[in-house]
Amino acid sequence: MDKIAQAVELFDEMVANGCQPNVNTYNTVVNGMCKIGKTNVAVGLLRRVEEVRCHPNEVSYNTVVDSFCKDGQVAETLDLFSKMTSKGISPDVVTYNSLIQGLCNSGQWNQASTLLSEMLALNIAPTLFNFNILVDALCKDGLAPEAHALLKTMFQWGIQPNVITYNSLLDGCCLQKQMDKAREAFDVMIGKGCRPDIRSFNILINGYCNIQKMSDKGFVPNTVTCNTLLSGFSQEGRHSAAKQLLKYMNANGPSPDIETYANMLDCLCKTEALALFQTMEKHSVKPHIMIFREVFDVMMEKGCIVP
């Protein structure tokens, strides 16, 4: 903060001595003012720039727009945005990023959606950041269907959703108890090669509570979904839940596959590791060489085999 104060002092001295700053100098001071929370002073500097016929640029406005948004001063932000465009200064992706985030943070997702549409109409390439902010805001406001529709727009623009995008969708669907939609989003996630993280598992586990509730809600999981849940249970150390899920699969479907049993290995004791082969044989699943190796390792670790 001391350095910023020194910079402002030097700036004032520069002007007092008849040395006219250029727009880059003004931008530096505007940025400094915003950093120390003096956004209104920064706005005054913008006016000062115009008075001395040194035209502000998009960087000048973007800095103040971002600062207003972070302070939650959305009305001031939109007013500044209007002035920016009226002066012929074209907003860029940075401007829209700040505006969309500011609007979503204040619960004005509808206006944020309008800005995104405006951005697309101007052929300003959106970023993953833009979409993630809006998807999250829609889902938190109980508008998962609108968030799903936004996912299609992402694909149209060649933007691949990441785990943050999908987690927002999963969370939104689970909050609305739309477990079929959660399943749909999860399957799309897997199909697109986006690897779930621990939060993905937690969202689903909390949403379903257990596999029996999935069935009660009319959710019929497939093998891919069950395998991913098994992996999540294993990573969280919830071995009992993993065993329950495998038991349910064997009794009710879907049929376990080689990946199902591979996911179970970390949850097994030495006796169960041996029983795994019998179960696989019963369900006509041929063990892969890696399964033999992993079971061997499990049994050595449990002291069943002495090297």
Distance CA 74, CA 78 (A): 6
**Residue 299 has which token pair?**
């049994």
Residue 128 CA: distances (Å) to CA of 33, 57, 115, 294: 29, 25, 15, 39
**Are 190 and 228 spatial neighbours (Cβ–Cβ below 8 Å)?**
yes
Q: pTM of whole model > 0.85?
A: no
H helices of 107-197, in order, are 109-121, 128-140, 144-156, 163-175, 179-191
**Helices 179-191 and 163-175, interaxial angle, to 10°?**
170
**Residue 66 has which token pair?**
């971002």
Provide CB contacts within 8 A for 88, sequence distance 6+: none
**Are 248 and 260 spatial neighbours (Cβ–Cβ below 8 Å)?**
no
Sign for the pseudo-dihedral over CA of 294, 295, 297, 302: positive
Distance CA 130, CA 113 (A): 10
Closest CA to 92 of 112, 69, 115, 67: 115
> What pLDDT, on a 0 to 100 scale, did the predictor assign at position 306?
39
Distance CA 304, CA 307 (A): 10
Sign for the pseudo-dihedral over CA of 221, 226, 229, 230: positive
**Residue 253 has which token pair?**
């479907």
Mark 53-65 as b/e (b = at least 16 C-beta within 10 Å).
Answer: ebebeebbbbbbb
DSSP reduced 3-state for 14? helix
* Cα–chain center distance at 184: 17
> Which residue ranges of the chain lie beneath pLDDT 70?
1-19, 52-53, 208-220, 266-307
Closest CA to 169 of 206, 118, 132: 132
> What pLDDT, on a 0 to 100 scale, did the predictor assign at position 132?
94
